[in-house]
Chains A and B, each alone.
Chain A
Amino acid sequence: MSVIAENLHWGVKRKTIVSGVSLTVAPGETLGLIGPNGSGKSSLLRLLAGLRTPVSGRVEINGQDIARVGRKALSRQIAFVQQSAATDTNVTVRDVVRLGRTPHRSALAGWSAADEAAVANALDLVDMVERRSQPWQTLSGGERQRVHIARALAQTPNVMFLDEPTNHLDIHHQIEILRIVRDLDLTSIVALHDLNLAAMFCDRIVVLEAGAVRACGTPDAVLTRDLCREVFRVAADVSGAPDTGRPHIRFRAE
């Protein structure tokens, strides 16, 4: 499903955080959202997912203005994965994934075959079937993030938003999570910090700077030496790989 944002503006009090962002995401595409701290990645992601209401501008998902879709109906189409959401409640993996069925169930409805199938499929996609009865508190950081993704998948969404899903994970688990996201058969929009990971796993990249889109395009078109210097304020060599279109960025210490 396509996601189209038109001229989004948002801010807190007098401070503008997102200004004039327009973007288009094609069905099935994995879009990376990168930018320095405070550039408005998380805020833009929440505007796109309808968790915040823009001051002006609009977001269309599959041709529907999300401001006109109810919260519950919207949650059947889109899912949102926060960065390392935690809980003290004593829940199992399965309990957490079952929460993904919330928008599909009425207040007192029973557990349907469709619910069970969605949960089983979601657990399978993140390879957590065997550990479904394990308590949440005993999972490692990478496993927790996989369960969060499974919970989002149990919503059976067409579009998934992920806010820095690889935060606090070691490199193996970072790659593992992004591989899962890339291979999913749905449109995903991922906020990321690591430029190389963005280059490796995203079809297209949007670079935010001070709340506005600085650049947008394929990884090799966007991730240039000049962009690293001007937006991220680091010196770097960018070695191209013309056959893959996926550049590699080597940062310099000086």
Chain B
Amino acid sequence: MTPLDDTEGGAFRLALILGLSLFLLAFAVAAATAIGDYNIGLGTVFLSITNELGLSGAEIAPIEQSVVWNLRLSRALVAALAGAGLAICGAILQALLRNALAEPFVLGVSAGASTGAVCVIVLGIGAGGLSLSLGAFAGAFAAFALVALLSNGATSGPNHTILAGVAASQLFNALTSYIVTTSGNAQQARDVMFWLLGSFGGVRWPDFQLLLLVVIVSLAICILMGRALDAFTFGDEDAASLGVPVARIRLVLFGVTALLTATIVSMVGAIGFVGLVVPHAARYVVGPLHLRLLPACAVIGAVFMVVADIVSRVIAAQQTVPIGVVTALVGVPFFAIILYRARPQS
């Protein structure tokens, strides 16, 4: 039996994987909340959370309660959502563009976001954390709009769309470099660099609420279109001959991935690798059909990102390594194993 068969065994296997991953996710989030410069016991973590939810009234030091609830739990949950969102975007874009190298930033969204962020950090347009996010979001959408324009509303075929994305990425990366080199000082350049590599440092509950809404809505839309995405296996025209409204599906899904990616990038920076690798790993486990692939990507991406965040905080004493560095460091060996095991048999 292949994992892709729509048999009861296949459904059972998917349920098993999802259940196991959700359990792992809960454990990873608990660990992320417990581990830090100041370690807190898992029992205390649990009680702090139930205290905040009004389920218990245990005596816990206010400082621990605050660290758990206000700093670490919100951070871990945002990390989980960001991982889930990036992995979903990667899976969608790999299917729509029919390209195994497609990832959430292939359409220039991260380059646009960095230009927007640099405008805020270096040029000082606006001020404060919120406007950094807004600047990044505006930049991301400007890049996406340029790609949509260049690729004729993403109707000109996968390669044309990818080339439009390359053009937009180059343009916005050049703009970012230009702004940093002509008007930035060393500290600002460092800030920009750090932001570009991603960080969960500043996230709080309002970020979580916004991201939760965006991820749930996006995932729902993508799952509703999952079966239509399968029909893209042999290309756009083939999908059309299977009764799929190709232009509408492309437009909606490109829009959804752009919105989701822009939201994530504007909150935590451009965290690479997750959106590229997790869909491949998930496909290896549950097969290529999107009704299975998308939920699997969401949970695997979430677990991966939470674990990467833990590693980023403990790997170097007294400092946090940028999360994008960790996703690659943790992810590459893992990915190498999958590549090796899935190598074509000749």
Contacts and interface: CB of A to CB of B under 8 A. Distances in A.
Interface residues of A, number: 36
Interface string B138-173: 000000000000000000000000000000000000
A91 B233 CA distance: 9
Interface in A105-119: 105, 107-108, 110-111
B339 to A, nearest CB: 13
Interface in B48-102: 98, 100
A95 B292 CA distance: 13
Interface string A211-223: 0000000000000
B337 interface: no
B224 A51 contact: no
Interface in A84-110: 85-92, 94-96, 98-100, 102-103, 105, 107-108, 110
Contacts of B235: 82, 85, 87
B6 A102 contact: no
Contacts of A155: 242
Given A51-B237, A82-B238, A85-B234, A102 B224 contact: no
Given A92-B2, A111-B6, A75 B242 contact: yes
Contact of A75 (B233, B243, B289): B243
A24 interface: no
Scoring A51, A89, A137, A155 by chain B CB atoms within 10 A of each residue's CB, the highest score goes to A89
Contacts of A80: 237-238, 241
A107 B98 CA distance: 21
A85 B2 contact: no
Contacts of A92: 2, 4
B243 A86 contact: no
Given A85-B234, A87-B233, A88-B98, A107 B224 contact: yes
Contact of A99 (B98, B100, B233, B291): B233
B207 interface: no
Given A102-B231, A107-B227, A95 B244 contact: no
B234 A98 contact: no
Contacts of A73: 243
A105 B344 CA distance: 33
B344 A137 contact: yes
A79 B233 contact: no
Contacts of B112: none
Nearest to A104: B243
A80 to B, nearest CB: 4
Contacts of A133: 2
Nearest to A105: B227
A79 B241 contact: yes
Contact of B243 (A72, A98, A107, A108): A72
A131 interface: no
Contact of A91 (B4, B6, B225, B242): B4
A133 B2 CA distance: 7
A175 to B, nearest CB: 24
A71 interface: yes
B244 A102 contact: yes
Contacts of A90: 283, 288, 342
A87 B234 CA distance: 5
A3 to B, nearest CB: 15
B315 interface: no
Interface of A: 46, 49, 51, 71-76, 79-80, 82, 85-92, 94-96, 98-100, 102-103, 105, 107-108, 110-111, 133, 137, 155
16 contacts: A71-B243, A71-B244, A73-B243, A87-B233, A91-B288, A92-B2, A95-B4, A95-B288, A99-B230, A99-B233, A99-B242, A102-B230, A107-B224, A107-B227, A110-B6, A111-B6
Q: Which 9 A-B pairs have the closest CB atoms?
A: A75-B243, A103-B243, A80-B241, A72-B243, A85-B234, A102-B242, A111-B6, A107-B224, A102-B231
